[in-house]
Amino acid sequence: MFENTTFSVTTFGCQMNKHDSERIAGMMQALGSRPVDTIEEADFSIFMTCCVREKADERLMGNVASMKNIPLRAGTPLSKRYVAIGGCIGQRDGEQLLKTLKHVDVVFGTHNMEELPHLLQEALEGERTASVREGRDAFVDDLPESREHSWAAWLPITVGCNNFCSYCIVPYVRGRELSRPFEELVDLAQSYVDQGVKEITLLGQNVNSYGRDLYGEPRFAEVLDAVAATGVQRLRFATSHPKDLTDEVIGKFATLPNLMPALHLPVQSGSNAILKDMRRVYTREHYLGLVDKLRDACPDIALSTDVIVGFPGETEQDFQDTLELIDSVGYHQVFSFIYSKRAGTPAAEIEDNTPREVIQDRFDRLLKVVETRAYEANQRDLDTHIDVLVEGSSKSNSAVLTARSPKNQTVHISVDGLERAPEPGQIVRAHIVQAKTWYLVGQLEDAR
């Protein structure tokens, strides 16, 4: 019943959700359905959702509500469009989504993606179903996947989280931490390299604690060594919790040439009082000590971070502590958010009377510092010659390629007038001739 049908997957949220979407795409293609780019072309519209912040909920509801007015595609073998919601909102809300959104057919959670084909079959037979499993005992690693890019691969090494930060919903919807067996993840990494993958990104809510559940102690440094030894040209990882970032892992930035000089290290706040209320289990002094160690190991490392503005009880001095930390570290990129209350988390119970306009003013002041320091960080790459990984043509100009630097910067390269432009997935040498706040501009030198 899936032959000659089409599907789309709309993804909200983190890299883990993006990888989950690739596995959803793999399952749909195994059924015989064909991927399309837009909801309008799809017979099966699947939403992989995030519930970390309120805006993600709003985006999902808006997208699904708008589908009521989209006509069926010409030539569809089905009598209606089928809508499925998975990911973290599916896990959190379950059957309530079927009651709220009458034209949703299937809801599934983060622990039972493999059930989607069966659930869609039931939908084709006229049954609306919400199926959410509360957890699982082992890492699921045998699902097909359809990667977005043949030359890049996400490789989850852990799922779930044991940290229970007071503001965060993730442990409740992703479950407790589970690690992929060491030998299995190394074999998978090697298979990716054998297929021509140029860049592997190791994924986990907290990659630094990899293996604690299986082996009694973290083995993430060993993972980096083993995956680097596969010969992959570029190795990255996300995300790191500062409390578990060890000197051994930091040292890998000095000893592994294919470990890219970029690290996302969420700080969330520069105030010790707020960090304590957030249950982050480190201080600003510990965090800044990690930054010093990272720059000793890799002086040119590009750091990025997450910051929450307006956490309940945040004072002007707390905010100033955050502003000072952001200014002193000089991040290449900062993902900043106004605190979003998530029902069921401890922070949601903290009373806070800070006016919204005060929080918005702090957020705006933070952005100015972030932009200034990001611009300064990129200036250090002006007039350098670097190897960049080509991702494809720019969405706004087909004569410009978008590429990614070792430090994870976006690099725009003009190919106007070239007989043959580099292909996506190719590593090329570029001379950086402009450095803007959020991207670099390079001139093509040669391909590698």
Report helix, strand and coil shares of the chain as percent, to nearest 5. 40, 20, 40
Domains along the chain? 6-131 (3.40.50.12160), 152-379 (3.80.30.20), 385-447 (2.40.50.140)
194/66: higher pLDDT:
194
Q: What is the DSSP string of 276-341?
A: HHHT----HHHHHHHHHHHHHH-TT-EEEEEEEES-TT--HHHHHHHHHHHHHHT-SEEEEEE---
Half-sphere exposure of 242 (CA within 13 A, CB side): 28
Q: What is the pTM of this model?
A: 0.91
pLDDT at 62: 87
Please choose, from the candidates 93, 109, 113, the residue with its C-alpha nearest in 3D space to the C-alpha of residue 101. Answer: 93
Q: Residue 320: which pLDDT band, with cuts at 50, 70 and 90?
A: very high
Site of tokens 């990690």? 290
Cα atoms in the Cβ-side hemisphere of radius 13 Å centred on 80: 13
The predicted-structure confidence for 376-417, as pLDDT tens digits, reads as follows 999 999 999 999 999 999 888 888 999 999 999 999 999 988
Res 281: pLDDT? 96
State the residue for tokens 């089905």.
78
Lowest model confidence (mean pLDDT) among 144-148, 176-180, 347-351 = 144-148
What are the tens digits of pLDDT across the range 117-175? 999 999 999 999 999 988 776 666 667 788 889 999 999 999 999 999 999 999 988 89
Question: What φ, ψ does residue 190 adopt, rounded to 5°?
Answer: -65, -40
DSSP tally for the chain: helices H, then strands E: 14, 19
Q: At what angle do helices 220-228 and 182-194 cross, to 10 degrees?
A: 20
Share of the chain above pLDDT 70, in %: 98
d(CA 232, CA 151): 11
Tell me the C-alpha distance between 199 and 272, whole Å: 37
Instruction: Kindly indicate the confidence band of residue 446, based on its pLDDT and cuts at 50, 70 and 90.
Output: low
Residues 6+ apart with CB under 8 A from 324: 270
Residues in the chain: 448
pLDDT digits (tens, 9 = 90+) for 267-309: 999 999 999 999 999 999 999 999 999 999 999 999 999 999 9
Q: Is the pLDDT of residue 263 over 60?
A: yes
